[in-house]
Structure 1
Amino acid sequence: MAIIITDECINCDACIVECPNNAIYEPDQEWAYSDETSLSGIVTLPNGEEVDADKMNEPVSDEFYFIVPDKCTECKGFHEEPQCASVCPVDCCIPDEDHVESEEELLAKKVWLHAE
């Protein structure tokens, strides 16, 4: 499953540089699937939906850092554990029960995000 940042976040910035998928954004920051991934133009999301990878999307939160679930792989294929959770000083990076995915799905998403 993806990781979510709870409202206990203190906006310390520790997690953002640790994310290998650039799935973490600052409060009130627009985001795109193409941000530091190999995606560009019209792409098909793992759920089958087509989107413009370069289109800027509305921020998920305007109060604290947030993780884009479609870009989060729990660091599978990069690290043994989610790096955001391992560096968070207030333990606010937790599993997102609304975005449950198998290890196989997370690894496939990693390949999708970083295909060469």
Structure 2
Amino acid sequence: MSLIITADCINCDVCEPECPNAAISPGEEIYVINPNLCTQCVGHYDQPQCQQVCPVDCIPLDENYLETEQQLITKYQLITGNT
């Protein structure tokens, strides 16, 4: 399941550089997460790094993009070329 940045985002800029898949980018008003690139850091870290650094806790799971652990691993492998 992808993560999403909510309207509570304060644009502090700490999440974007932490994303190993470059899934986070500035949006029109707040940062946004590309669900096609978000693996919740599966394959890179034990926990999503953006959630770890977010000072306002505004990065929950995106219920619109349900994925299993295996689907996240497969996505990681496609993004990085690591198999």
**Do Structure 1 and Structure 2 share a fold, with TM-score over 0.5?**
yes
Give distance in 1, aligned partners of 2:42 and 2:81: 15
Give distance in 2, aligned partners of 1:107 and 1:98: 19
**TM-score where L is the length of structure 2:** 0.95
Q: Unaligned stretches of 5+ in structure 2?
A: none
Which structure shows the bigger proportion of residues in strand conformation? Answer: 1
**TM-score where L is the length of structure 1:** 0.69
Amino acid at match of 1:22: A
Q: Which residue of 1 aligns with 2:2?
A: 2
Give distance in 1, aligned partners of 2:48 and 2:39: 8
Structure with higher Rg: it is 1
Q: Which residue of 2 aligns with 1:67?
A: 33
Aligned residues: CA RMSD: 0.9
Regions of 4+ moved over 3 Å: none
Give distance in 2, aligned partners of 1:76 and 1:94: 15
Q: Decide which of 52, 70, 82 is 1:104's aligned counterpart.
A: 70
Q: Decide which of 50, 56, 59 is 1:93's aligned counterpart.
A: 59
Q: Which residue of 2 aligns with 1:50?
A: none
SS of the equivalent of 1:66 reads strand
Shift of 1:115: 1.1
The aligned length equals 82
